[in-house]
Amino acid sequence: MTDASPSLAARFGSGQAVRRLEDDALLQGRGRYTDDLGQPGDGWAVFVRSPHAHALITKVDADAARAMPGVRGVFSGADLQAAGVPAMATGAPFKRADGSDCASPARHPLAVGAARFVGEAVALVVADSLQQARDAAEAVWVDYAEAPAVPSLAAALRAEAVVTPAAPDNIACEARHGDAEAAQLAFAQAAHVVKLDLTHQRVAALTLEPRSVRAAWDSGEGRLDMHLSSQMPTGVRAAVAAALGLAPEAVRVRVGDVGGGFGMKTGAYPEDVVVAWAARATGRPVRWAAERSEEFLATTHGRDLQAHLELALAADGRILALRVHSHANVGAYALGTGVAIQLLIGPWVQTSVYHVPVIDFHFRAVLTHQAPTGAYRGAGRPEAIFNIERLMDEAARQTGIDRVQLRRRNFIRPEQMPYTNPMGQTYDVGRFEHVLDQALPLADWDGFAARAAASKARGRWRGLGIATFLEWTGGNAFEERVTVDVKGDGFIEVYSAVNQMGQGIATSLAQLVVDAFDVPIERVRVVLGDTDRGNGFGSAGSRSLFTGGSAMHTGAERTVQEARQLAARELEAAPEDIRYAAGRFAVAGTDHAIDLFELAGRQPGGHIWVEHTHTVAGPTWPNGAHVCEVELDPQTGVVQLLAYASVNDVGRVVNPLIVRGQLDGGAVQGIGQALLERVVYDASSGQLLTGSLMDYGAPHADDIAARFRTEMDQSTPCTNNPMGVKGVGELGTIGATPCVVNAVADALARAGRPELAPRLQMPLSPARLWDLMRGA
Every domain of the chain and the residues it spans = 7-31+475-615, 34-147+211-289, 302-473+619-773
Q: Spelled out in words, what is the top-level CATH class assigned to the domain 34-147+211-289?
A: alpha beta
Residue closest to 523 by CA, chosen among 28, 21, 23: 21
Residue closest to 650 by CA, chosen among 642, 660, 640, 641: 660
CA 604/CA 606 separation, integer angstroms: 5
Kindly report which listed range (400-409, 481-490, 498-507) carries the lowest average pLDDT score: 498-507
Give the residue ranges of DSSP H helices in 141-266: 153-158, 180-189, 233-244
CA 320/CA 422 separation, integer angstroms: 12
> Is the fold of 7-31+475-615 the same as that of 34-147+211-289?
no
> Per-residue confidence at 776, pLDDT binned at 50, 70, 90?
low
Say whether pLDDT at 4 is over 50. Answer: no
* Average pLDDT of the segment spanning 14-40: 92
CB-CB contact of 538 with 233 (8 Å): yes
Among residues of the chain, what percentage have pLDDT more than 90? 93
Q: Which residues pair with 612 in a beta bridge?
A: 482
Q: How far is CA 729 from CA 288, 471, 620, 648, in A?
A: 29, 11, 12, 12
Say whether pLDDT at 654 is over 50. Answer: yes
Tens digits of residue pLDDT in 32-70: 999 999 999 999 999 999 999 999 999 999 999 999 999
Full-model pTM: 0.96
Say whether pLDDT at 181 is over 90. Answer: yes
What pLDDT is stored for residue 206 in this prediction? Answer: 94
CA 65/CA 81 separation, integer angstroms: 20
Mean residue pLDDT of the chain comes to 95
**Secondary structure class of 185 (helix, strand, coil):** helix
> Per-residue confidence at 5, pLDDT binned at 50, 70, 90?
very low
* Average pLDDT of the segment spanning 398-422: 98
Residue type present at position 216: A
What pLDDT is stored for residue 9 in this prediction? Answer: 67
Say whether pLDDT at 572 is over 60. Answer: yes
> Per-residue confidence at 592, pLDDT binned at 50, 70, 90?
very high
Q: How far is CA 707 from CA 672, 686, 710, 732, 772, in A?
A: 16, 40, 10, 15, 28
* Average pLDDT of the segment spanning 15-19: 90
Say whether pLDDT at 6 is over 60. Answer: no
CA 340/CA 349 separation, integer angstroms: 13
Tens digits of residue pLDDT in 711-722: 999 999 999 999
CB-CB contact of 341 with 129 (8 Å): no
Kindly report which listed range (285-299, 679-693, 697-711) carries the lowest average pLDDT score: 697-711
Residue closest to 200 by CA, chosen among 308, 354, 340, 322: 308
Say whether pLDDT at 1 is over 70. Answer: no
Residues 7-31+475-615, CATH architecture = 2-Layer Sandwich (3.30)
What pLDDT is stored for residue 7 in this prediction? Answer: 57
Of the options 3.30.365.10, 3.40.50.11030, 3.40.50.300, 2.60.40.10, the CATH number for the domain spanning 302-473+619-773: 3.30.365.10
Which residues, including other chains, have CB under 8 Å from residue 700's CB and lie 6 or more apart? none
Say whether pLDDT at 701 is over 90. Answer: no
What pLDDT is stored for residue 441 in this prediction? Answer: 98
Tens digits of residue pLDDT in 76-123: 999 999 999 999 988 889 999 999 999 999 999 999 999 999 999 999
Tens digits of residue pLDDT in 427-469: 999 999 999 999 999 999 999 999 999 999 999 999 999 999 9
Say whether pLDDT at 10 is over 80. Answer: no
CB-CB contact of 574 with 522 (8 Å): no
* Average pLDDT of the segment spanning 376-400: 97
More confident: 12 or 312 = 312
